[in-house]
Structures are given as C-alpha cells and as structure tokens.
Amino acid sequence: MAPVLIWIPLVGLLTGLGSIEAQQTTLHPLVGRVFVHTLNHETFQHLPEHVAVPPTVPITYHAHLQGHPDLPRWLRYTQRSPHHPGFLYGTPTPEDRGRQVIEVPAGTPVGCVTCGCSLMFIYVIAYNRDSFNITQQRLVLLTGNPEGPLLPYQAEFLVCSHDVEEVLPSAPASRFLTALRGLWEPGELQLLNITSALDRGGRVPLPIEGRKEGVYIKVGSASPFSTCLKMVASPDSHARCAQGQPPLLSCYDTLAPHFRVDWCNVSLVDKSVPEPADELPTPGDGILEHDPFFCPPTEAAARDFLTDALVTLLVPLLLALLLALLLAYIMCCRREGRLKRDLATSDIQMVHHCTIHGNTQELRHMAASRQVPRPLSTLPMFNVRTGERLPPQVDGAQVPLILDQH
C-alpha cells in the first residue's frame, strides 16, 4: 500500500524558524485491534539543543491528515491538559484503510507491499507554550492484519470510574483484562476498541471530585462467553434495568473496586455463527397466479347521478325557504300593535306617564324662551333677610358675590 501523510498543524508558527529535522519512529497497528501511542514530553528532549524542551514545561500537540483538516476517522487524538501527555488511539479497519489519501514518498520501507500493510507518516509537532519553541517527530504506521485466531466473541463494557486518558496507558488496560478474566471462560482476551463516553453522546460531568466522563472498552476473545456474562445480557436483566434495579449477576464482580462497570450497558456480540445471506428477490413476469381468495370486482354498470344531485341540492334549499317564510310570518303578521298595548295598560299608569311627559315639555319650553324672571336666590348680592339687591343698571354677572374679593 502507499503511504498516508498526517501532519500536526501550527505550520504558521514554523515560518522564520528554519527547517527542523524530525526523528522517526515506526509503529505497527493491527486491523481490528486498538492502537495507542503516547506522546510523552520526555520523547521530545532527544532533539537538537536549540529545541530542547524541559519535561515540566506545558506542551500541546496537534494532528491532521495532510490535505485534510482532521485525522483519519479511525484515529483520534486527546490530551487532558498541556501538563499531561497526549494520546493517538483508535482501531483501524480494512474499509478505513482503503479510503485514505495515499502518496508514495521516497524511502518507503521495503516489504510493505508484500505484507499487505498500509503505510502512514505522521509528523508530530510539539508546541512549547512557555518558550514558543516547536519540535516535531515523525511516526511511521505500518497497518497490517493481526496474527492468530479470530475473536468472534466480543463484549463492550461501560466503565464509569475512569476517563479515556486513564485507560489508554498499558498498565490500566492490562489490569482491566486481568480482572475481566475472572468473568470469562479461560482464554486470551484482547482489547478491540476504547471510546470515550462523550463520543457516544454522554454528558460532561460536573466538576466534582470523583465524577468521571466514562469510557467504553470493547474486548474480544476466541473463548465463548461465560454463563455470568450471558445472564447479565439476558432479557430479564434488561427488564430489571428498565425498572431501576441492578441486573442479574450470578458471579463475583472481579472488576470492582478498581473498575466500576455499568452492568446495564453491557453488550455481547457473537460472530461465531455467520449471518445468513439475504436472498435476492427473483424477478417474475408481472402476472399474478390464480388465487381462489382474490376476487377482483367486475365492471360496474352505468348510473345516472342526476337524481342524487337534485336531492342533495334542492332539499336543503326548500328547508331554508320554509324557515325564511316562517320567520317572516312571525315578525310581520303576528305583531300586537300600539292599540292592544295601550288597552292592556292601566289608566293610572297612562295618566302618570302623560303627566311626566307634559311637565318635561313645559320645562323645555320655559328654558327655550328665557323670559321668566330669575329666582331671587340666583341673583347676585341678594340679601335673604331684607330682600335688597343691586340696582338694575348694574350688570350682575360682573359683580362678585363677596365684595372682599373685588
């Protein structure tokens, strides 16, 4: 296979710094097996003196495929903080290996074409956040097929007590496999994949001590599952988990207390029995076979829908017309009239009404003429005791009621 070039960015910061000779490391990831490479700060101290990086200095790493903005989809990069090491991890597949951007550089290792592996060059650029120095390291990945028996029995566990950076080193991974052997049939166990729970849609935990993101660990083996694992993944266990109860576990949990596993999220996959191939449908001639239960309708006779249309339209119109005539008769022909109303009213009530009406008209006539003398109480400066008032030549409208106000 041809090589794939993967660059870690910050190319703009390299401007003016000159060319830096990169060290080369060859790695051998296997298809279907988890691949983990640790980017330690001490690894970048074996460079020339003018780019040496102390181990206590914070360093960040960046990676992407040459000509693309990101790494291949099977390869991931993570780093908890600039003071912690970085990790390149993932599980290559034959499909992913065939979809990479391939280039053949000078100096391709001999034997890569004959072994059927995939060659990738990864240039790791380390960025010193204190001195702003940049160093780089080249990783040559020779992806080949794994040796040994197939691993048809695969199980995936959700470890809630760890982050993905805590499981990627070899020591925690070995402890997990050693503890898992107590729950599996005797046989060799191998790590197939490690995925952060955040990549599976998990939530970021609160910044509280003891809260972890969680990590999915997939393990494969050539030995079948034990009765204990089968009971955990049984429908009865799933029903108990749906009710908020712990699943059925007939054996001792050898993973506790170092690894807290969510047993309700355990999935088992058995690939020992090949799945039957889907049968392709056979094209026919398009003619249905004779079926005694299939009775298609015969040809319908011609019908005249004029009568139905007239009934549908005329009946509602006739009802509306009858209702209109009934309403007109009630409103126009059944009125009582004023005479019948007056005869039904008592004489005392009529006299009272006429008196009120006559008084109202008289008051309106007096207000219109304005020839009636004004009452004495309304005249200005009227003396109640003597009855005296101002001379008539004086305009009373302009004389104040109280002389002190003048």
| DSSP collapsed to 3 states, 22-45 | CEEEEECCECCCCEEEEECHHHHH
- Cα(143)–Cα(27) distance, rounded to whole angstroms? 8
How much is the pLDDT for 372? 58
Residue 351 has what pLDDT?
A: 81
How many whole angstroms separate alpha carbon 125 and alpha carbon 85? 13
Indicate the helix (H) or strand (E) that contains 269. Answer: strand 267-270
Q: 370: left (phi > 0), else alpha (psi -120 to 50), else beta?
A: left
Helix (H, G, I), strand (E, B) or coil at 61: strand
pLDDT at position 95? 77
Specify whether the CB–CB gap between 62 and 56 falls below 8 A: no
Q: What is the predicted pLDDT for the residue at 94?
A: 82
pLDDT score for 256: 83
- Helix (H) or strand (E) run with residue 96 in it: helix 94-98
State the pLDDT at residue 402. Answer: 54
Single out the residue of 66, 45, 67, 65 nearest to residue 55, CA to CA: 45
Tens-binned pLDDT, residue by residue, of the chain (406 aa): 434 443 433 333 333 333 444 567 778 888 889 999 888 877 665 545 555 545 577 888 877 776 667 778 888 889 888 888 889 899 988 877 654 433 333 333 334 433 445 566 666 677 777 777 777 777 777 888 888 888 899 999 999 989 999 999 989 999 999 989 888 888 889 999 999 999 888 888 888 887 889 999 999 998 889 888 888 888 888 889 888 888 888 788 888 888 999 988 899 988 887 777 777 777 777 666 777 777 777 777 888 889 999 999 999 999 999 999 999 988 888 777 777 777 777 888 878 888 888 888 888 887 777 665 666 556 565 555 666 665 554 444 454 555 554 4
Q: Output DSSP code: residue 173.
A: H
> Cα(178)–Cα(68) distance, rounded to whole angstroms?
40
Q: For residue 5, which of 143, 145, 116, 138 has the smallest C-alpha distance? A: 138
The beta strands (E) that lie in 40-132 are given as: 59-62, 64-65, 75-79, 86-90, 118-128
For 266, the 3-state DSSP assignment is: coil
Rounded CA-CA distance 154/169 in Å is 21
pLDDT value, residue 155:
92
- Dist. CA 48–CA 22, nearest whole Å: 10
CA-nearest of 43, 200, 60, 80 to 134 is 60
Neighbours of 143 (CB within 10 A): 25
Instruction: Say what the pTM is.
Output: 0.58
Compute the distance between CA of residue 21 and CA of residue 3 in angstroms, rounded to an integer. 20
CB 61 within 8 A of CB 39: yes
Residues 6+ positions from 271 with CB-CB distance below 8 Å:
150, 152, 153, 154
Strands 153-159 and 215-221: antiparallel
Interatomic CA distance for residues 215 and 204, integer angstroms: 12
Q: What is the pLDDT of residue 157?
A: 93
pLDDT recorded at residue 131: 73
